[in-house]
Amino acid sequence: QSALTQPASVSGSPGLSITISCTGTTSDIGHYGYVSWYQQHPDKVPRLLIYNVNSRPSGVSSRFSGSKSGNSASLTISGLQAEDEADYYCMSLTTSRTLVFGGGTKLTVL
């Protein structure tokens, strides 16, 4: 299975919004509503930000939101803060009942 496609890097200024895309196929993102997003700071454990496309776990800021259209999903971070600088990954269930991550996106807060 191929990794989901994410931009290698995105950047934004504090207070503004950014969107990270995650492109899959009809066999993963396009087939299911099981898209999740993770944040990982250097040398830290990945943290779940979004599950089932647009749901937030308890304790995750409402500045993080998710959406899906067709074979693509997106993570939007509004009101960028310095602490948001990290790597971000999408993940989806596939029709083979396996899981697949995206290639990761490095967010730089300018």
Partner 1 sequence: QITLKESGPTLVKPTQTLTLTCTFSGFSLSSGRVGVGWVRRPPGKALEWLALIYSDDDQSYNPSLRSRLTITKDTSKNQVVLTMTNMDPVDTATYYCTHRDFGEYYFLYWGPGTLVTVSS
Please check whether residue 66 is in contact with residue 53, taking contact to mean a CB–CB distance below 8 angstroms.
yes
Q: Which residue's CB is nearer to partner 1, number 12 or number 46?
A: 46
What is the Cβ-side half-sphere exposure of residue 102, based on CA atoms within 13 angstroms?
A: 30
Report the C-alpha gap between 52 and 89 in whole angstroms: 14
Which parts of 56-85 interact with partner 1 (CB under 8 A)?
57
d(CA 49, CA 62): 10
Among 73, 80, 86, 93, binds partner 1 (CB under 8 A): 93
Q: Which residue of 30, 46, 56, 78 would you call a contact of partner 1, by CB under 8 A? A: 46
Asked if 40 interacts with partner 1 (CB under 8 A), we say yes
Q: Which two tokens mark 100? A: 């697949």
Residues lying near partner 1 in the complex (CB under 8 A) are found at: 1, 3, 32, 34, 36, 38, 40, 45-46, 48, 51-52, 57, 89, 91, 93, 96-104
